[in-house]
Amino acid sequence: MTVKPNSRVAFQGERGAFSEEAAVKLLGEKIVPVPQPTFDATFAAVGRGLADLVLSPIENTLAGSVHNALDLLIESGLSIIAEVVIPISLNLIALPGVSLEQIAAVESHPVALAQCERFFRTHSGLTRIASEDTAGSVRAIMQAGIPARAAIASRRAAEIYGGKILLEHLEDDPKNYTRFLLLSASPNGTAPATKLSLVFQLPHLPGSLHRALEIFARRKMNLMRIESRPVHGRPWEYRFYMDLQASASDQEAAAAITELGNCAVNLKILGSYLAAEDQSGKST
Amino acid sequence: MTVKPNSRVAFQGERGAFSEEAAVKLLGEKIVPVPQPTFDATFAAVGRGLADLVLSPIENTLAGSVHNALDLLIESGLSIIAEVVIPISLNLIALPGVSLEQIAAVESHPVALAQCERFFRTHSGLTRIASEDTAGSVRAIMQAGIPARAAIASRRAAEIYGGKILLEHLEDDPKNYTRFLLLSASPNGTAPATKLSLVFQLPHLPGSLHRALEIFARRKMNLMRIESRPVHGRPWEYRFYMDLQASASDQEAAAAITELGNCAVNLKILGSYLAAEDQSGKST
């Protein structure tokens, strides 16, 4: 992966969103964050010249549908050039100088609120307030200077807006990770890669997926993820997303993809990149 | 499927939620709705004696994670006894007597707000207000009697709370469908079934999924959906959810499942039921 410092990175949400946290973990602090209000706007940002790269959640996300991101990825024509996994650690963030006892209401995206049921059970006097954005809740409370209100958001959102973290790890499930993809207008080129993402359609016949997988099984290529999604407007037709432990520059993989092209339609290589699990020396 | 009239049906959300709409489409108006605040509470409702059945979104849902519902389904020990697919049609709902010109703010769950981008672009003067529940927004506006505010929610929510539908089909994508499952403490028994849902784990070896699918391909059994999910706390291990065009009472299917048990671990039949596509004569 070759990414210039000062690259403009589009993501859905406000400054301090978990997607920004993921972008910084992957690319460092020198990136220029380009926050976008919607997933549609995020995926269109490169084509519109607003950003060089897109950072999007793809699995187990906090806000919005992963399926939506997968579908937008295909339609966008962008290529995956890297991935990163971060823990979704939820913090209770308030104005500096405010203590937990002073908080009467807690604001965040409903999906984040729903991931903190245990906290709300043990603090049953707190009013829940829904918002459109986790980081945006921190910004709103800091800007308005409301001492009786706290937000649930990322550590980065607290840092950006000058909030104080009253409590950490509000999330019910400590094993709450989200996988993000870094997308670019051009594919990875010669950078080292261990993971290959594909999408294709198969005829709706018994055994068609089995025959497609045989192409990879015969070559002892490892399947890391598979997901079927109905094709919009075409009942009973399915699109398959597949992650393989392979690189597009590998001859075996190239031969397998050629073979797959004979039995699948709309075959597309989404990207060839270093799996998050194969990265080391990254700061966390 | 044998369901008594007056069955108590638990679902996530308030009265008038899309899950309630799905339950009524499947079971009729005689059910007793048992709204629950969270997915955890919904899936626990049968075990706690609060409900006879659970109705949960499973694919392409409006609010909350589908993965969460899949994981809860496995852990709950409940069986799928039916499925139903409904269009997620979003309506603008206000107090009776109020016209669109009087509306200054629109309230709904952020995921619903995000699905109406086109509406908000063409009505740019409207303030967006996030809430925890689509139907709950209608209830709140009706109870408080706020003429300048509208909610985005289901037609059913408008009917239950006495709201007036100002506009229909606010959703950007008209092909927005959600699949819901009906769950019971005991499996379907002898009712006619065309779909079989399974979950199992495979050893992380190249070709293991291919070998598992071979069992079904050899019998010409049709695969309708497959999804891999990482196993919590066990990196690199995957669980596979699979929908097959088959019935558990079918001898071929029974033989295939026995054979699958030899190469998979934690194999579990989630249910055998009539596919939504094979139902007819249902009111819509």
The count of structural domains within chain A is 3
Whether pLDDT at A259 is above 90:
yes
Q: Would residue B283 count as lying in a domain? A: no
Tokens of B87: 């269009």
- When pLDDT is averaged across residues B161-167 and rounded to a whole number, the result is 98
- Looking at the fold, whether B109 and B64 belong to one and the same domain comes out as no
- When pLDDT is averaged across residues A148-171 and rounded to a whole number, the result is 97
Tokens of B16: 């008038």
pLDDT bin (cut points 50, 70, 90) of residue A191 is confident
Q: Does the beta-carbon distance from A110 to B132 stay under 8 Å?
A: yes
Examine the residue annotation and report whether A39 is marked as an active-site residue of this protein.
no
Contacts of A131 in chain B (CB under 8 A): 110, 130
pLDDT bin (cut points 50, 70, 90) of residue A284 is very low
Express each pLDDT in A64-76 by its tens digit: 667 778 888 988 9
Residue A278 confidence (pLDDT): 76
- Looking at the fold, whether A36 and A97 belong to one and the same domain comes out as no
- Looking at the fold, whether A52 and A180 belong to one and the same domain comes out as yes
A-interface mutation test, from B70, B83, B107, B111, most A Cβ less than 10 A away: B111
Percent of chain B beyond pLDDT 90?
A: 63
User: Is A211 within 8 Å of chain B by CB?
Assistant: yes
Whether pLDDT at A21 is above 90:
yes
Q: Would residue A209 count as lying in a domain? A: yes
CB contact at 8 A, B263 and B208: yes
B173-205 in b/e form (b: 16+ CB < 10 A) is eeebebbbbbbbeebbeebebbbbbbbbbbeee
Q: Does the beta-carbon distance from B225 to A221 stay under 8 Å?
A: no
- Looking at the fold, whether A54 and A163 belong to one and the same domain comes out as no
Whether pLDDT at A281 is above 60:
no
Q: Would residue A283 count as lying in a domain? A: no
Residue B98 confidence (pLDDT): 97
- Looking at the fold, whether B57 and B119 belong to one and the same domain comes out as no
- Looking at the fold, whether B110 and B72 belong to one and the same domain comes out as no
Give the integer Cα–Cα distance in Å for A155 and A152. Answer: 10
Give the integer Cα–Cα distance in Å for A225 and A85. Answer: 15
Ramachandran sector of residue B272 (left: φ over 0; alpha: ψ -120 to 50; beta: rest): beta
Residue B147 phi/psi, 5-degree rounding, is: -70, -25
3-state secondary structure chain B: CCCCCCCEEEEECCCCCHHHHHHHHHHCCCCEEEEECCHHHHHHCCCCCCCCEEEEEEECCCCCCHHHHHHHHHHHCCEEEEEEEEECCCEEEECCCCCHHHCCEEEECHHHHHCCHHHHHHCCCCEEEECCCHHHHHHHHHHHCCCCEEEEECHHHHHHHCCEEEECCCCCCCCCEEEEEEEECCCCCCCCCCEEEEEEEECCCCCHHHHHHHHHHCCCCEEEEEEEEECCCCCCCEEEEEEEECCCCCHHHHHHHHHHHHHCEEEEEEEEECCHHHCCCCCC
B242: containing domain:
195-278
Give the integer Cα–Cα distance in Å for B69 and B36. Answer: 14
Give the integer Cα–Cα distance in Å for A214 and A257. Answer: 12
Burial of A31: CB neighbours in 10 Å, binned 0-12, 13-18, 19+: buried
Q: Three-state DSSP class for A62?
A: coil
Q: Three-state DSSP class for A91?
A: strand
Whether pLDDT at A34 is above 90:
yes
- Looking at the fold, whether A214 and A96 belong to one and the same domain comes out as no
- Looking at the fold, whether B79 and B151 belong to one and the same domain comes out as no
- Under 8 Å CB-to-CB from B111, ≥6 apart: which residues? A64, A65, B62, B63
- Looking at the fold, whether B44 and B180 belong to one and the same domain comes out as yes
Examine the residue annotation and report whether A178 is marked as an active-site residue of this protein.
yes
Q: Would residue B2 count as lying in a domain? A: no
Q: Would residue A214 count as lying in a domain? A: yes
For residue B214, give the CATH number of its domain: 3.30.70.260
- Looking at the fold, whether A157 and A139 belong to one and the same domain comes out as yes
User: Is B231 within 8 Å of chain A by CB?
Assistant: no
Identify the bridge partners of residue A269 per DSSP, sorted by sequence position.
A198
Q: Would residue B100 count as lying in a domain? A: yes
Percent of chain B beyond pLDDT 70?
A: 94
pLDDT bin (cut points 50, 70, 90) of residue B239 is confident
Q: Considering chain A, what is the average pLDDT of its residues?
A: 89
Which of A276, A269, A213 is closest to B226 using CA atoms? A213
Domain boundary, last residue among A155, A184, A213: A184
Residue B102 confidence (pLDDT): 97
- Looking at the fold, whether B80 and B111 belong to one and the same domain comes out as no
Tokens of A21: 């946290």
Which of A35, A31, A83 is closest to A63 using CA atoms? A35
Residue B235 confidence (pLDDT): 63
Report pTM.
0.87
Express each pLDDT in B92-124 by its tens digit: 999 999 999 999 999 999 889 988 989 999 999
Alpha-carbon distances, residue A68 vs A117, B99, B138 (angstroms): 26, 33, 26
Whether pLDDT at A126 is above 80:
yes
Q: Does the beta-carbon distance from A220 to B206 stay under 8 Å?
A: yes
Q: Would residue A189 count as lying in a domain? A: no
For residue B52, give the CATH number of its domain: 3.40.190.10
Q: Would residue A236 count as lying in a domain? A: yes
- Looking at the fold, whether A73 and A180 belong to one and the same domain comes out as yes
Residue B174 confidence (pLDDT): 79
Domain boundary, last residue among A159, A184, A209: A184
Q: Does the beta-carbon distance from A63 to B131 stay under 8 Å?
A: no
CA angle A29, A30, A34 (to 5 degrees): 95
Q: A208-217 vs B208-217: helix axis angle to the nearest 10? A: 150
ipTM: 0.81
